Amino acid sequence: MMIALHKNARTTPAIRAEMAASSDTAATLALRYGVSEGTVYKWKGRDNFHDASHTPQRLQTTLTPAQEQIVVELRKTLLLPLDDLLAVTREFLCPQATRSGLDRCLRRHGVGNLNALKPKEPKEPTEPHKAFKSYEPGFIHIDVKYLPQMPDETSRRYLFVAIDRATRWVFVQIKSHKTAAAARSFLNALHKACPIKMQKILTDNGKEFTDRLFASRERQATGNHEFDQLCQALSIEHRLTKPRTPRTNGMVERFNGRIADVLKTHRFTSGEDLEQTLMRYVALYNHQLPQSALKSKTPMRAMKDWYASHPHLFVKRPYDHPGCDT
């Protein structure tokens, strides 16, 4: 059995009981057990031979128990901070009260944490994120991402990104300028590379895509923008997101987040190194990375499945690279 003894104790409960029961003199017992006569007299006058707690039975506090109860109730009712409660206590209860003593009092009574006493406001239910509406291949999201300037470059460049909503297939190009001419050139290259018959394109309201925003004011797009004119020539419907709502074009924003992760985790030596890395990642994304949104298929695999069931949605047969890169 474990016996809790004081660190300076010279006797055990058994020896103390022997001293209390013995009829020998205190001097004899002190000599026998190696203790003082005062220790012998102490244990002879007791019935319990275990060490008692050395914690004071009555704490030396400035406030009386009644005053402490008043302080606790003020804390619970008015939710006063410690300094404000100290001022009230000194003014009406006890002028000698100290800040540290009041804090210990609150902690002893379980009201030391003011935030735990405040009623919690019910959280407003948040609407779950809505999944994208199911579309057939041909609805393309387009956006532009700023690229970091490399040591061998005199200015930063821009990554034009296009992603098909149904298959998640991605096409990218790096441009030196973020202009209407660059956007038109990108759309031309996308039209040649995409095996899907593009029906709709969704972009934001940047000047490279539309003239909808003019002098900080919103107006209807005129249709005379270079990008709009090319969309009309290719029989593609050009849709615009609502101004200042980037989540509307969230699908391409998510892919841009992937690109941001690549930029953070790689160190590039030149602009060419950056471009080659991004192109390798896009090829890996399209051909080798399964996605949960596509039921564990790669974008190219999803595109080929769509081609098998809906060939009329395509202008040419999707081509898949055989095997992994070596």
- Reported as a single tens digit per residue, the pLDDT across 58-67 is 667 888 989 9
* pLDDT reading at 220 higher than 70: yes
- Supply the pLDDT for residue 326: 41
Does 284 lie in the same domain as 183? yes
Domain assignment present for residue 27? The answer is yes
Domain match, 185 and 77 both: no
Query: Residue 234: inside a domain, yes or no?
Result: yes
* Same domain, residue pair 154 and 227: yes
Give 274-302 pLDDT, tens digit per residue. Answer: 999 999 999 999 998 888 888 889 999 99
Give the residue-averaged pLDDT of 218-222.
78
pLDDT average, residue stretch 5-17: 82
Nearest to 156 by CA among 172, 135, 169, 174: 174
Minimal CA–CA distance to 298: which of 310, 282, 312, 316? Answer: 282
Tell me the CA distances in angstroms from 237 to 181, 214, 220, 230, 232, one per residue in order.
Answer: 19, 22, 15, 10, 7
265 vs 177, higher pLDDT: 177
Q: What is the pTM of this model?
A: 0.58
214: domain CATH number is 3.30.420.10
Same domain for 27 and 158, yes or no, is no
Is residue 290 one of the residues assigned to a domain? yes
Both 175 and 308 in one domain: the answer is: yes
Q: What is the rounded distance in angstroms from the CA atom of residue 233 to the CA atom of residue 325? A: 38
Q: What is the mean pLDDT of the chain?
A: 86
Instruction: Please give the average per-residue pLDDT across 76-87, as a whole number.
Output: 88
For residues 288 and 144, membership in a common domain is answered with yes
Question: Is the separation of the CB atoms in 314 and 137 below 8 Å?
Answer: yes
Residues 293 and 187 in one domain: yes
Domain that holds residue 238: 139-313
Residue 74 has pLDDT above 70, yes or no: yes
Same domain, 143 and 251: yes
Query: Confidence band (pLDDT; 50, 70, 90) for 229?
Result: very high
Assess if residue 54 is contained within a domain: no
Cα separation, 4 vs 11, whole angstroms: 12
> Tell me, what's the pLDDT at 250?
77
CA distance 203 to 299: 21
**Residue 273 pLDDT level (bands cut at 50, 70, 90):** very high
Q: Is residue 106 part of a domain?
A: yes
318 within some domain: no
Share of the chain above pLDDT 90, in %: 47
Residues 107 and 195 in one domain: no
Question: What is the number of structural domains in the chain?
Answer: 3
Interval 4-10 mean pLDDT: 76
Q: Are residues 181 and 243 in the same domain?
A: yes
**Mean pLDDT score, 213-228:** 78
Residue pLDDT, tens place only, 98-154: 999 999 999 999 999 988 888 777 777 766 655 556 679 999 999 999 999 999 999
Q: Are residues 101 and 216 in the same domain?
A: no
Smallest CA-to-CA distance from 275 within 184, 159, 118 is with: 159
Average pLDDT over residues 190-203: 94
Q: Is there a domain that residue 228 lies in?
A: yes
Q: pLDDT category, 248, cuts 50, 70, 90?
A: low
Q: Residue type at 143?
A: D
Residue that wins the pLDDT comparison between 164 and 60: 164
Split at pLDDT 50, 70, 90, the class of 217 is low
177 and 225 together in one domain? yes
